[in-house]
Amino acid sequence: MANYDFVIIGGGPGGYIAAIRAAQLGFTVACIEKRKNKFDQPALGGTCLNVGCIPSKALLDTSHHYLFANEHFEQHGLSVKELAVDVKAMISRKDDVVKKLIDGVAGLFKAHKIDWLQGSGQLQKNKQVKFTSFDGEEQLIDAKHIILATGSVPINIPPTPIDNETGIIVDSTGALEFTEVPKTLGVIGAGVIGLELGSVWARLGAKVVIFEAMGSFLPMVDSQASKELLKQLKKQGLDVQLGAKVKGSSVNKNSVNVTYDLNGEEQSAEFEKLIVAVGRKPYVEGLLADGVDLKMSDRGQIEVDESYKTNIEGVYAIGDLIHGPALAHKAMEEGVVCVERIEGEQSLVNYDLIPSVIYTHPELAWVGQSEDELKEQGVEYKSGAMPFAANGRALAADDAEGMVKFVADEKTDRILGCTIIGPQASELLQQIVIAMEFGATIEDIQLTMFSHPSLSEVVHEAALAVDQRALHKAQRKRKKK
């Protein structure tokens, strides 16, 4: 029987990072991962590297390059003859990017002497792990510490059963493998995944309709920013139907007919492809042997304490299996903190400062609280915003849609939140995450020198705008109370 200090079930962002950190601290580590990629090869990296964050960004970048060349090159004095989309080449490039990263993780495992057990892992009643290899061989493993990190899977809904094999009604995984641009594409869900995948295929020429059951668009985001993103997406040709509840579907040979309720009226639409992107749920299928009494919440999440301990001694859970948003960077930080707390360090994850990003164009990124939340809570705050339209770097790049917006405490001047919609929002936001982690005030940002010309200057100007001091915006100085 094999014996390790740590056995980690799941080789996604949370699991592989936990494995690496444990090995760095001198522990013996095994990581069990059952995923095989589209080429039937064992693959680390979980959903994020294989069929999520990374491949979707590869397609987003490729499709944006195509759209920019098709619609904006002429403004730059550039001309391209017979611009065309080679979808197979685009998918192949995406696969190459994924492979490099997966191979990189495998290389890190080798360098840190982590045993990568290729197959499935199951927690047993006596706190052992049963490992089943791809060829069916079973082995019991003893471990001082077991970390469950199996991630999440797309939610399937009865009206539109997913079938990635036929490729007509697909989830986010199937949407990464289209062999040609569909003429018509339906997307169920106007969340992060639906908007990103809808954007990819809309840029390449698909007529895209997005069905969102809620009557509001991105309610978790600052309303000023969400309205701006919706406006920009509509300009790009995406038809976002709010309050549209999908009731059923029927698949023909080469299309699917979708019936839905819109404002009390039943309607239907036909599409070549339909993407179901209504969210994700913890993946616990086969994870627990019969009789393992692991405490779960009503939402199907594993309950843990601040050190990620479950109700079973020596068993921990992280990432999409537990509370909080299903984000790769959250899982990574939890993996590190979980291991370090076991080792005796006082690490922690600051759940108040988890950055969120939607990689549409323009990008939308936010951290902390929004103005809407502060109003609802009755918090005394001040706010300021600055558009990219006033920024020289953005104008030179022909990429000047959007804004940076701050909210800060009226009395203490502490930054309470920041929302950015615009070019490189994901990168610009990170400087504010760092500032907030150090308890920065708006004045701290105001007194910081930013390079010129740069997109970051909009961050500076937005901070100045909080106190009516923006230099590239007509404002009168804010009166002191």
Q: Give catalytic residues, as residue numbers.
A: 452
Residues 401, 355, 372: CA angle, nearest 5 degrees: 70
CB-facing half-sphere around the CA of 449: CA atoms within 13 A: 2
Phi, psi (deg, nearest 5) at residue 397: -90, 0
Tokens 């730059």, located at residue: 76
**C-beta separation of 432 from 367 below 8 A:** yes
- Structure tokens belonging to residue 225: 């920013």
Is 41 buried (19+), middle (13-18) or exposed (0-12) by CB count in 10 A? exposed
- Name which of 415, 266, 310, 263 is nearest 9 in CA terms: 310
308 contacts 317 by C-beta, under 8 angstroms = yes
- CA angle in degrees (0–180, nearest 5) for 287-26-115: 45
Cis peptide before 453 (omega within 30 of 0): yes
Number of other residues whose CB lies within 10 A of the CB of residue 389: 14
CB 2 within 8 A of CB 144: no
Instruction: Give strand pairing partners of 367.
Output: 418
Separation CA 169–CA 175 (nearest Å): 9
In order of 4, 122, 123, 143, 291, the CA distances from 140 in angstroms are 11, 10, 10, 10, 17
- Reference 7, options 136, 127, 151, 126; nearest CA is 127
Helix axes 13-24, 87-111, angle to 10 degrees: 30
Specify whether the CB–CB gap between 393 and 457 falls below 8 A: yes
Question: Can you tell me the distance from the alpha carbon of 156 to that of 19, in angstroms, rounded to the nearest whole number?
Answer: 31
